[in-house]
Amino acid sequence: MGREQVFTCTVCGATQSKWSGRCDACGAWNTIVEEVPLAVGPGKALKRGNSLTLTDLATAEAPPPRTEAGVAELDRVLGGGLVAASAILVGGDPGIGKSTLLLQAAARFARNGLKVVYVTGEESAGQVQMRAQRLGLTESPVKLAAHTNLRDILATLDSEAPQLAIIDSIQTMWLDTVESAPGSVSQVRAAAHELTSFAKRRGIAIVMVGHVTKEGAIAGPRVVEHMVDTVLYFEGDRGHQFRILRAVKNRFGPADEIGVFEMTGKGLTEVRNPSALFLSERGTPAPGSVVFAGIEGSRPILCEIQALVAPAAPGQTRRSVVGWDGGRLAMILAVLDARAGLSFAGLDVYLNVAGGLKITEPAADLAVAMALVSAQSQQPLDPQTVVFGEISLSGALRPVSQTENRLKEAQKLGFTTAILPTLAKRAAGSGLALREKPDLATAVTDQMSGT
């Protein structure tokens, strides 16, 4: 009797019983591959297990000890430093700077007294040493190995007993107990599982690198996200020097926290004041440019949103978005049309978040809308103005969280005015002139008439 075939998506890990060109779960194309099931699994008759000792909630242990890297941008994203006995996944596009970040982090932790082992499966030891030399890290007491057999690596970690191990990358690691090739969903899962349980058992922190993959063959980091304690994504636009480390899951700290770095010739340096950086490229006030007062994690960040509207070729209007959600843009365009009488039919619309930042907050709705209105009407907004607020389908504006933090940051950077939803109570302590708008139609009319 042939075993049942299982097909797995290499991006999200969803399984299905037959092959298809598109994953039903995540919608990715060409990512479904046949999966070789693990040797051990359900189906074998289970022996009766041992009964567990149960505890109650009050017997909580002391909070886990943390070690700081001394790099504020990294420590904050980790939730206040590195936690012992934890598994961390660092995902990101190839070439974005994951190895650079982790080599620099390894060196910092080693200098702060942690015993650190760095295992590379991607590069030769020589390549990593050359990078270390370029970054001026050769003096740091980091132990290095270039290897991909996980059994040997675990044995080494067992005898070396480091406090931090970096595995670059999880897709190059392989276990001889799993039949399929390195990089396949089953290998990546099994390797991540081994490393995670090793981290828990031996009380060490293990950082795994995972490349984001665009199509089949190699499993992406999302297939192991559920196993690890912390998931960080390293994002950025390769054309820009800014890099953002974002916590999307953290069992030991707040998620959505970000750290901002700049890629220089000497590796990554921290950016302490990201708002100033994101606004630094702003030129003379142009129509379609709006400063959005956003919040990323616990931190206010100001950035520029740019819109461009141009006549479309007959029958093919384009909607192009960088750094924001395309579906959300379609919604804003529909609400502008239905509630404020501003139509973009027959027009191409381009929207861009400057600096390579990705925004997910609904609070950006109003800033996007104002950028579109300004681009459409060719009237620039006052350059000393920040905008934020959520737009509902009815065209009403909803207040957003942390209004005061947003206003404070804007004031710190020299802005004088804010356009925002009508507030239920007065925002304390901001020196900004507040232009409160009850709904989108009012905001649009006021912008058109220049008030």
Residue ranges binding ligand TYD (CB under 6 A): 92, 94-100, 131, 134-135, 263, 265-267
Among ligand TYD, Mg ion, none, what binds residue 309 when CB lies within 5 to 8 Å by partner kind?
none
Among Mg ion, ligand TYD, none, what binds residue 419 when CB lies within 5 to 8 Å by partner kind?
none
122: left (phi over 0), alpha (psi -120 to 50) or beta: alpha
For ligand TYD, the closer CB: 78 or 128: 128
CA dist., res. 14 & res. 78, Å (int): 28
Helix (H, G, I), strand (E, B) or coil at 430: coil
Q: Show the tokens assigned to 304.
A: 């520029």
For Mg ion, the closer CB: 41 or 95: 95
Among Mg ion, ligand TYD, none, what binds residue 117 when CB lies within 5 to 8 Å by partner kind?
none
Phi and psi angles of residue 252, each rounded to the nearest 5 degrees, phi first:
-120, 20
Distances 166 to 6, 121, 154, 205, 278 between C-alpha atoms, Å: 32, 11, 12, 9, 31
Per-residue x/- mask for Mg ion, residues 99 to 128, rule CB under 5 A? x-----------------------------
For ligand TYD, the closer CB: 265 or 315: 265
Q: Least Å distance between CB 92 and ligand TYD? A: 6
Among Mg ion, ligand TYD, none, what binds residue 97 when CB lies within 5 to 8 Å by partner kind?
ligand TYD
For ligand TYD, the closer CB: 71 or 440: 71
- Summary count for the chain: helices (H), strands (E): 10, 23
Q: Least Å distance between CB 289 and Mg ion? A: 36
DSSP 8-class letter at 362: G
Distances 70 to 179, 259, 267, 378, 395 between C-alpha atoms, Å: 42, 13, 16, 47, 46
Q: Least Å distance between CB 99 and ligand TYD? A: 3
DSSP 8-class letter at 48: P
Q: Least Å distance between CB 267 and ligand TYD? A: 4
DSSP 8-class letter at 79: T
Q: Least Å distance between CB 96 and Mg ion? A: 9
For ligand TYD, the closer CB: 135 or 331: 135
* Footprint of Mg ion on 63-102 (CB under 5 A): 99
* Footprint of Mg ion on 245-274 (CB under 5 A): none
**DSSP run (H or E) holding 367:** helix 365-377
CA dist., res. 144 & res. 216, Å (int): 31
Q: Least Å distance between CB 257 and ligand TYD? A: 20
For ligand TYD, the closer CB: 109 or 344: 109
Say which residues have a Cβ less than 8 Å from residue 57's Cβ, sequence separation at least 6.
none
Q: Least Å distance between CB 168 and ligand TYD? A: 7
DSSP 8-class letter at 208: E
Q: Least Å distance between CB 94 and Mg ion? A: 7
- Report the residue number whose CB is nearest to Mg ion: 99
Amino acid identity, residue 173? Answer: M
For ligand TYD, the closer CB: 120 or 186: 120
For ligand TYD, the closer CB: 76 or 211: 211
Q: Least Å distance between CB 172 and ligand TYD? A: 12
Nearest to 389 by CA among 451, 309, 432, 332: 332
Number of residues that bind Mg ion (CB under 5 A): 1
Question: C-alpha angle 29/229/157, rounded to 5°?
Answer: 105
If binding is defined by CB under 5 A, does position 148 make contact with Mg ion? no
For ligand TYD, the closer CB: 101 or 302: 101
Phi and psi angles of residue 10, each rounded to the nearest 5 degrees, phi first:
-80, -10
**Per-residue b or e along 31-40, where b marks 16 or more CB atoms closer than 10 Å to that residue's CB:** bbbebbbeee
Amino acid identity, residue 266? Answer: K
Among ligand TYD, Mg ion, none, what binds residue 95 when CB lies within 5 to 8 Å by partner kind?
ligand TYD
State the residues that interact with Mg ion by CB under 5 A.
99
